[in-house]
Amino acid sequence: MRHLRSAKRFVTGLVPVAIVLAALLLGGCKNADPTPEARTTTSESEHGSHLAPPQMMVSQVRQSGPGPKVGDRWRASVALNVCGQFLNPPAGDTVRGVTPNADGTVDIAPTNAGEAGHFSTLGAYIESVGAKLSTGSLGLPASITPAELTVRDATVPIAGATFTDGAQCAGVKGKVAVWVYSREAVKTGNGLVVVVEDPQEVPFFEDGSAFVITFTPESSLPTLPPSAAINSGSTSGN
């Protein structure tokens, strides 16, 4: 009888040990699962999104931020891209509180209510550099450089040229659009959107944002402006 009680205690003592060992084995099997969960990379901040970004109306972009107040000093990045190639940042004077810089950034400093909020738009930049922008049309100033591009061994005149929806980039139909990067999208690629209707009305809604005014094939994936890629770690602040 004494031997029976001793055996019972021995078996009882083994039960917790067995439970612990089973838990460890199950955990090890779970961690060794050769099929990891799918993940989305965030390297898009430099090279553009791996997926086609959504299209938005200007009214929807306005909901992303209030725009600058009188007395604010913001900085954004704006670039011109034709057939997948960035043009040199054009020079320009201050127009409605918007001043282009030689490095591709833009200073935004409204001085009155008519320049502030959602009245601060890409249209001011376009006017400053002598370009023209509307739904389906992008006109470049004669002073833009380079004066021509080489695309797929074909020469594409740039200086003084006007590009419209359906025109071609070396045999491929292109479309006029604005790629809009919020401050978050500049850093991570998340939140990038495209505007094709009334692109000149796209507002400077947030400090540290970025914009590419483009005529490219519709299949092109957006790419961050060079100045934003360089300066994405900092913004000017209010």
Give the mean model confidence (pLDDT) for residues 125-146: 98
Q: Check whether 49 has a pLDDT greater than 60.
A: no
pLDDT top residue among 159 and 43: 159
Sequence-separated (6 or more) residues with CB below 8 Å from residue 133: 122, 123, 126, 139, 176, 199, 200, 213
Number of Cβ within 10 Å of residue 24's Cβ equals 10
Number of Cβ within 10 Å of residue 84's Cβ equals 19
Least confident of 51-55, 59-63, 81-85, 116-120: 51-55
Average model confidence (pLDDT) for the chain?
82
- Overall residue count recorded for the chain in this entry: 238
**Confidence (pTM):** 0.77
